[in-house]
Amino acid sequence: MPTIRQNLDKIRSSINDIALRCHRNPDDIQLVAVSKRFPVAAIEEALAANHVVFGENYIQEAAEKKQTLDNRIKLHFIGHLQSNKARTAVEYCDMIETIDRPKIVKTLHKHLESENRCLDVLVQVNVGEESQKSGVLPQDAESLLAYMQDFPRLKLRGLMTMPPYTPDPEMVRSSFRALREIAVMMEAKNLLGRHGKIELSMGMSHDYHVAIEEGATLIRIGTAIFGERPPLSQNR
Ligand SMILES: *Cc1c(COP(=O)(O)O)cnc(C)c1O
């Protein structure tokens, strides 16, 4: 079995190749290593290979890892965020990629206010309009972004999506394209892009090449770095 370091090297060079092939600067594409359900030892291995940005989808697990690793990692939250976890999220996350409703905006802002801080966030868009998935529906994105303008402690950096699963990565191309088109539209309405470069978080282990071709600036990769994920534990 390849090591985590070897997997990281392979993905880094693949990001490089894909970017150059579609005339993009490889430095514009940031890798988020999705370490959910993997032990701290796996993160340590990635850290030793100079990787520092990790993605987690349960707040409790994210907070424990961040504490154990003594803030040596940057943590992106990529799961559904409940309001009663907002305070912990503010404390331990460097970016929240899954803003999807006014209530969580308001709650996060309140905690940021009391800490006198700001936080980088992305709005998650449910481009496939799947009922079981979180994320704001495409047609509601504009009103959520407009609402967020009154909550300046949330620094809106861009959009994120998790498209409908298909084994054929070509099938998700239209979803990635849809996210980019929403971003362009929102920028034209001056609802996005106030903090510089607009981030598009899209693409996972099996479809990141398509995502990069469609403009991804953040790709979230778990399995291809850490291997098959351990099953969900019962005690959540
Ligand atoms: C688990 C997860 C990933 C990583 O998926 P892989 O297929 O293991 O690369 C990416 N994004 C989100 C939101 C996830 O929950």
**pLDDT tens, residue by residue, 67-87:** 999 889 999 999 999 999 999
- Does residue 139 lie within any of the structural domains? yes
Instruction: Kindly tell me if the per-residue pLDDT of 163 is higher than 80.
Output: yes
* Residue nearest to ligand 1 atom 10, measured at CA: 220
DSSP 205: T
- Closest listed residue to residue 3, CA positions, set 37, 30, 41, 32: 41
- Does residue 203 lie within any of the structural domains? yes
- Does residue 231 lie within any of the structural domains? no
Rounded distance, CA 47 to CA 26, Å? 20
Q: Ligand 1 center to residue 206 CA distance, Å?
A: 10
Mean pLDDT within 193-220: 96
CATH number at residue 100: 3.20.20.10
Q: Ligand 1 center to residue 222 CA distance, Å?
A: 6
- Does residue 232 lie within any of the structural domains? no
Mean pLDDT within 5-12: 98
Structural domain boundaries enclosing 13: 4-226
Q: Ligand 1 center to residue 225 CA distance, Å?
A: 11
- Does residue 234 lie within any of the structural domains? no
Asked whether the beta carbons of 204 and 164 are under 8 A apart, the reply is: no
What was the pLDDT predicted at 232?
A: 82
Q: Which atom of ligand 1 is nearest to the CA of 57?
A: 15
- What are the phi and psi torsion angles at 2 (to 5°)? -65, 150
**Higher-confidence position of 236 and 26:** 26
Strand bridging mode 154-160 / 74-77 = unpaired
For the chain, the C-alpha Rg in angstroms (whole number) is 17
Rounded distance, CA 41 to CA 208, Å? 25
- Does residue 44 lie within any of the structural domains? yes
Ligand 1 mutation target, pool 53, 59, 220, 232, most atoms within 8 A of CB: 220
pLDDT in tens, 165-179: 888 888 899 999 999
Mean pLDDT within 182-211: 96
What was the pLDDT predicted at 168?
A: 84
- Does residue 235 lie within any of the structural domains? no
- Does residue 190 lie within any of the structural domains? yes
User: In the chain, how many domains are there?
Assistant: 1
Whether residue 216 has its Cβ less than 6 Å from ligand 1: no
Q: Ligand 1 center to residue 32 CA distance, Å?
A: 10
Whether residue 34 has its Cβ less than 6 Å from ligand 1: yes
Q: Which atom of ligand 1 is nearest to the CA of 32?
A: 10
Q: Ligand 1 center to residue 150 CA distance, Å?
A: 31
Mean pLDDT within 206-215: 97
What was the pLDDT predicted at 170?
A: 83
27 band by pLDDT with thresholds 50, 70 and 90: very high
What was the pLDDT predicted at 234?
A: 61
Q: Ligand 1 center to residue 204 CA distance, Å?
A: 6
Whether residue 204 has its Cβ less than 6 Å from ligand 1: yes
What was the pLDDT predicted at 171?
A: 87
Instruction: Kindly tell me if the per-residue pLDDT of 235 is higher than 60.
Output: no
